[in-house]
Amino acid sequence: MGEALQAALTERYDALSTSLRARVVSFVLAAFDSLGSYRDADAETFLDRVLPTVLAAQQQMGSVTDAYLSAMIGDMLGTAAAPVGVQLPEALRGVAPDEVYRRPFVTAYTALSQGKAYAEALGEARTRLLSITETDLQLARTHAAQESMRAGGAQFFRRRLTGAKNCALCTLASTQRYRVENLMPIHPGCDCKVEPLVGKRDPGQVIDEATLKAAHAAVAKGIGQSDAGGRAPDYRDVIITRQHGEYGPLLAVRRHEFTGPDDVPSP
């Protein structure tokens, strides 16, 4: 069927995953906003209410991603490809979900201890909860994608931008090819999707020269210089992948600093 079927599959997958993401985020934030107070007992009530839905949504995101990629790879290869049947672990981050979804309450308590207003503290907690929920759904997508592509025989993939707006990090990263054995780097709030590049031949590092040139042109317009060879400024010194202890590969800017073991004070 070729490009027409692949375009239809992509459109359907985007619609399903975007809808799922929006519904889960809305549910989780509404549950948080509806709490009478934000003490420990309220945190337990919140966890009991949202975790079953959140975990089910992550599995659903994995299943939808598996079905999409299996169909894409099958069409690219001209074969019939059934979904792998991806089963994701509950602790995608390697941390128990109840601990992860308790963190917004810790954020609120910390803000209050610093003398911030109650409304401001809750705002910070809500923002953290939004980031956690969106990131967990993206982790479900990337982990499922890796498992599905491995089973389908794909060796390379690209990062496909989703939606009308995308950050500069994702735009530059979308011009590159990645190997299936490596998870797609993400960042908090990321909604990029994985698209397989079928074939055993390495397509090369840069797979979207036009977008890369457009990015260079935008940089040149903003700072007065650019170089399509990536030397002035050298994007390898700006856009990098860090290994995050929970997310895995994290798309980042080199100047961003992360807390490490040496930064934690001894008891």
- Residues of the chain with confidence (pLDDT) below 50: 230-237, 255-267
| Structural domain ending residue among the three candidates 107, 128, 153 | 153
Q: Who contacts 205 (Cβ-Cβ below 8 Å, separation ≥6)?
A: 176, 177
Q: Is residue 267 part of a domain?
A: no
How many domains in the chain?
Answer: 2
Q: For position 130, what pLDDT does the model report?
A: 96
| Structural domain ending residue among the three candidates 153, 188, 204 | 153
Closest CA to 191 of 131, 134, 147: 134
- DSSP class of residue 261? G
Q: For position 256, what pLDDT does the model report?
A: 46
pTM: 0.81
Domain that holds residue 196: 158-259
Chain-centroid distance of CA 188 in Å reads 7
Q: Domain check: are 8 and 54 in the same one?
A: yes
Q: Is residue 96 part of a domain?
A: yes
Q: For position 234, what pLDDT does the model report?
A: 45
Q: Is residue 199 part of a domain?
A: yes
Residue with tokens 């359907």: 12
pLDDT digits (tens, 9 = 90+) for 58-111: 999 999 999 999 999 988 888 877 898 998 999 998 999 999 999 999 999 999
